[in-house]
Structure 1
Amino acid sequence: MKKQKVILTTKEKSELFGEGVITVILLLLLNLSIIILLNLAVLNDPRLENGIFFLKKTITFANGMHLWSWQRLFVGVMLVGDAIVVYWRLIRRYRQMQLRHVIEELHYIADGHFDHRIPFVVKTDLQKVIDSINALVDSTVASMEEERQIEQSKDDLITNVSHDIRTPLTSIIGYLGLLKSSELNEDQAKYIKIAYDKALQMKALAEDLFEYTTLRSSTNNKLVLAPLHVNSMLEQVAAGFELEAEKKNIAFNVVTRPRDLVIDADAKMIVRMLNNLISNALKYGHGATEINLIANKVNNKFVELRVENNGEQIPKKSLQKIFDRFYRVESSRNLKTGGTGLGLAITKSIVDLHGGTIKCQSTSELTSFIIQLPLNSPKAK
């Protein structure tokens, strides 16, 4: 990093010059006032005048010179004092400007430019602050990189393990399926069914783990962008859940404004995202009678997708953690309502890949997952 002095802007130089001019004018006025008051005091007090005359005769310098003008001496002393005051004021303001530049650099780093360092060299204790800030940023960046590598190692481990166990699980499920279809007594059928259901649950977990870590890996994942007709997609997704929704007496409502709304997105990922949200509503939206799939165009820049249900409210304490991996609002992990706890984490990863945002709002009347995606998604990474 190349070190440099703090370079003042034209505006700051003008401020510094103005500070000096104003200080000089105020000091001259003060000096003039003091001299006038002293002259008046001497003229009105003969004893003071005689005392000054006595000092003039008594005080001698080299070569026998006398001090004949006390005003000149006093003015000289005041000018020296004025110069010290002007210097102190200007250097004080200059250091304030230096501090201002350091704070601006610090804000720039805090905005996410962690490869930047404060390059200034100053001759005050502020240099210790600058060096400490740079050292702290270096330490923070190193910690972030170490944490990223640890997280990447964990994701790679999960990806490899989940990938490796899917093949034997498929074989186990196949053999258990054959056993289920054979003639068994009541106990055998019961235990085979339990083993079969548990194997299916384990396979679902392995597949979700594999997908989640794949989505998080920027090196392995790429978006396949194409124009996507939003209304047709929402209707097709809703049709895929009609039978399950009818069993629970839940109706789908699809609304798109405008109806010909088209966005650039990865259709496969967007459908997976919506499937996760709808499955979540069907599993946990207890008491719901309708699920709304709504798409609105916003400011010709974004599309807002809303997946809503009028079922049971999500507790406020759960809203902050709802997109964390393995987090479930319902703590009981059973086969009837239980998932892997990765559905919403996968959903958020898909939204992030498209450069969008997602949030959840829940009241006693409505629970809404609100997604905002750009009409023109970023290029595949």
Structure 2
Amino acid sequence: MKRIAWNGRHRASSEYFTVDQIIHEYMIFHNKIIEVFNNHKVTDTGAIHLLKCCIDKSMLKSVEAFTKSIQEMQNKLIGTLAHDIRNSLSAARLGIEMLDLKAGPERVERMRKMSMYSVDKALHMIEGLLDSISVKAGEGMMLSFSEINLFSDIRTIYEEAEEIYSEKIIFECADKELNGIFDATAIRRLLENLITNAVKYGESEKPISLKVVKECERFLSLAVHNFGPPIPQEKQEEIFNFLDHTKGTNKKELQSWGIGLTLVKMVAEAHGGKVELISKDNFGTEFKVYISRVINEPGKQRTKLNFAQNS
């Protein structure tokens, strides 16, 4: 039955799959088995009835697992979006609270821009929240691609993090022309999640670095590094799984890492890229995200989901 439940979850990760198709698969399987029975002249009605009961039960279990997985997708996508919307609105509120007219026009303008930026980002994510309510099998967030220069968005993420966190954050970006076709809101959320994790799990007395490199004419790399205890080697793949059902004492820790990292992986792959993780003693942890500048066309498209293969 565990294998059957896995089949339902696996189908939920298959793009455009439906409950009707699961039932159709089992009908085909049932017909093939009956055909084999007929070819071998099996007439034992008890065996045939038992087979039918097993197939019916398997079909019900598979449909149940499929439906449950779709619901989990919706809950997690909506929960992640709601979490990031709250963070954006909190940053906007912080900017308003720090708005001191006596601090001088430059400081006031910086806080105003930070607040407006955070509110605008929250509004974009609310649109994504509405899209997530109608998610289907294999589908993730709806992204909206446009031709832009990412530099100002990344620079704003760095400046906002400097205001919010007490940790020293180092920003490195030699090229200010980071042009390409991106979803800027998704990239900002990606970096915010990586920086938040770096602050949460890093050593507070040591700096966090955000490094952006134009790798070639096609790709950018965005790397966030922190010092501190490494992520265990055996857990480094699991933290990216969208619906992680890992058993064990570290489940809570994995889930706390995975809330943002599933989003990071989805966004990277939607941009034709990938995520690389290095985490070891005497080095700390670095997440490096590669994104293509040219693979997408302007417009909307949904990301695909990644499931644990051993669920």
Give the TM-score normalised by the residue count of structure 1.
0.41
Higher helix share: 1
* Greater RCO (CA < 8 Å, at least 6 residues apart): 2
Higher strand share: 2
Give the TM-score normalised by the residue count of structure 2.
0.50
The structure having more radius of gyration, on CA atoms, is 1
